[in-house]
Chains A and B, each alone.
Chain A
Amino acid sequence: MPDSPFEYAPAPESRDIANLKPAYRPFINGEFVDGAGEPLKSINPATEEVLAEVSTASKSDVDTAVKAARRAYEKSWGKMPGAERAKYIFRLARLIQERARELAVLESLDNGKPIKESRDSDIPTAAAHFFYHAGWADKLDYAGYGPDPRPLGVAGQVIPWNFPLLMLAWKIAPALATGNTVVLKPAETTPLTALVFAEICQQAELPPGVVNILPGAGDIGAELVGHPDVNKIAFTGSTEVGKLIQRTVAGTPKKLTLELGGKAANVVFDDAPLDQAVEGIVNGIFFNQGHVCCAGSRLLVQESIVDEVLAKLRYRVSTLRIGDPLDKNTDIGAINSREQLTKIQELVDSGDTEGAQRWTSPCPVPERGFFFAPTVFSDVQQSMRIAREEIFGPVLSVLTFRTPEEAVTKANNTPYGLSAGIWTEKGSRILWMANQLRAGVVWANTFNRFDPAAPFGGYQESGFGREGGRTGLEAYLDV
């Protein structure tokens, strides 16, 4: 709020902590090598400056990496007793913690997310995933999959740009714990923390070839998915690409899990704890600039309280601070790429055209970099594009309902089904709703809570398979 005498002082994290190097290279068979692909430039979305040049993998590099992973699987990792594997994975977890500040600053530079989120959420949760899965490595025989669950072999993993290191942890930790080896392709716009993680693998003296990291664009991902010697594909990203992958994998013995888009309903009943519901709505859609596949992007409010909720919501959203991701006061950082910004803009324009009421936070927005002010659409109808398509940005669509049944019907009326939220003080209604909603995760009186022990995944076009918890291990085991 610009007119206040109480201006918070900028408190930027020093970017030196990130140990940014001018160039990064693919990691194959335990070593950093020059990729034969076209090098790409990773840019800072908050300033549009080039952060580093990244050498990318070519198709032949994919083959080399898969071969290295196969060798490592057959010679060491796949045969290693679980207790031994656990030691390595615990070591990875501790090293992530030790280098947490460096990783957090680098993540914010490369991705544009606010430092308070990378520091307090992304990196600690990434470390937690390694700790959690390390604990499973020697207990698989007792996990309820029968006496001797077997690893699948080589896992090809493709991850998105919204939580670069966290998604890496979600993929690599269970794969390693269950005895698989990994070839992972980070997103084109955010490869840096994955390549620092490769350094951590070296530091942990992980046997060569157990983890391979190949920066590159979609074609490298496609090559990895199509490689005949890969046993398991795990993908997190857009539904569109997920469908392509499913077509490629169909008819092969490869196992597949997909974690795709979402258009989650966040349902607020008239007896909800309103102030905390408003917090939950804000956290649900504006966390990580709305670049969250399980974001609560469709707010369903009971008609009797819609004005009150909107008033409270607008006031609260107007206090959100948008700006330099490295500033500890920043609530909303930068949109990851120009391309994504254009996409958000296009969908928001469609909201205007289709007659929804647009409200944009009056907060000052930086002139340079890719930023989008928090936006709330009211009077949104089910038929509008902004109520159906995933926007993947800080844009909330507010719809209304009259009865609990209608809330369920509207919440489920989507091709997606990753997550949902329920806000009510009535416990019985929470349980009833949770049973009715077609979503992988249903949060009650909270939103966007993650834990390595809680399985996460979707229905319908949000994909299939679960990550996290005991259920998540199954995707990497022959059971």
Chain B
Amino acid sequence: MTVTSTATDTPSPLPERLADATRDETSLRRFLHGLPGVDQVGVEQRAAGLGTRSIKKAAKRWAIDTAISMVDLTTLEGADTRGKVRALAAKAKLPDPEHPDTPRVAAVCVYPDLVATAVEALQGTGIGVASVATAFPSGRSSREIKLADVKMAVDAGASEVDMVIDRGAFLEGRYGHVFEEIQAIKTACGQAHLKVILETGELATYDNARRASWLALLAGGDFIKTSTGKVSPAATLPVTHVMLQAVHDWHQVTGELRGVKPAGGIRTTKDAIKYLVAVHEVAGPQWLDPHLFRFGASSLLNDLLLQRRTQLDGHYSGPDYVTVD
């Protein structure tokens, strides 16, 4: 499954209000601070409420398959090796050998130096290779090094780049700096799709999460992503609600479709389905598609596979029946 075009391949001029927003630092600040606030109690209540929808039988089978096809199978450890990446790629291609009809995952996500290995292992499968770049996970380096990091990943064949924003600059209120950096990285990505990691756990408030979402969308990010997975809290349902609302609103204003990727801490099928309900009801049914929604996860896939088997076989088989890579 390749990432096909979303709106960024056919750039259309932004509506005046948005074009004006990025004219200079002052306009950008004014725009971001002019966005409606997010009420914490309200958004958490809504997230909890939507979590109680009942997904069963056909809908559950559909949800599990869809969730599998949305997984960015991820390994981001200092101890990653080529062997580990090849194992992951094999699993991405054939997640459940006993049920070959199981959908493939959307992408495999690795560090830049392992992109070549992943690309080779996934050749011809249509599965994307995503790479975290830009001095992941802290983002604390010079622009040159970040760009070089991206170039390294893209040159090695990464079809998707997951960048981190400079949270320090964001919290200092230097929105222009963050905006330009995202733009520069977007350019460096070329054909590769850009996912912008906001690290919402460090931004701390929902207001910040909303502003950062809009900042990333204005700067041309194809996806907005919650977290690196290295900071707690990582993805949460309420913060994902805020981001889904942002892409929904972006679509209303520009007609463009941008994606959302919660990452980190989503481990169970039950949780994944709650996210799908949020996608369905907050952003809209159109977003129930790997082009517009991804799960950044490593262990989620196994639970999805086990639950998929439970649906098909009528009984739960247990963690020894799936691979541990």
Contacts and interface: CB of A to CB of B under 8 A. Distances in A.
A10 B245 CA distance: 27
A14 to B, nearest CB: 14
A5 B279 CA distance: 13
Interface in A5-45: 5-11
Contacts of B39: 273, 276-277, 445
B284 to A, nearest CB: 8
Interface string A366-396: 0000000000000000000000000000000
A272 B285 contact: no
Interface in B26-83: 36-39, 41-43, 45-46, 52-60, 62-63, 66
Contacts of A116: 52
Nearest to A423: B39
Contact of B42 (A1, A8, A11, A276): A276
B110 interface: no
Interface residues of B, number: 30
A330 B55 CA distance: 13
Contact of A6 (B41, B46, B285): B285
A8 B63 CA distance: 10
B285 A4 contact: yes
Interface of B: 36-39, 41-43, 45-46, 52-60, 62-63, 66, 242, 245, 248, 252, 276, 280-281, 285, 288
Nearest to B35: A274
Nearest to A9: B56
A95 B58 CA distance: 38
A328 B51 CA distance: 12
Given A3-B285, A329-B53, A9 B58 contact: yes
A446 B52 CA distance: 21
Contact of A273 (B38, B276, B288): B38
B59 A9 contact: yes
A329 B288 CA distance: 19
Contact of B62 (A5, A10, A280): A5
A446 B41 contact: yes
- The 10 A-B residue pairs whose C-beta atoms are closest, nearest first, are A276-B42, A11-B54, A9-B56, A276-B39, A274-B36, A273-B39, A4-B285, A273-B37, A425-B37, A319-B281
Nearest to A276: B42
Q: Helix, strand, loop or mixed for chain A's interface? A: loop
A199 interface: no
Given A6-B62, A116-B52, A311-B252, A279 B42 contact: yes
Contact of A279 (B45, B59, B276): B45
Contacts of A279: 42, 45-46
Contact of B56 (A11, A272, A275): A11
A6 to B, nearest CB: 5
A212 B189 CA distance: 76
Contact of A272 (B36, B46, B63, B276): B36
A345 B281 CA distance: 29
A273 B57 CA distance: 37
Contacts of A280: 42
A148 interface: no
A271 interface: yes
B37 A8 contact: no
A446 B41 CA distance: 8
Nearest to A305: B36
Contact of A9 (B52, B55, B66, B252): B55
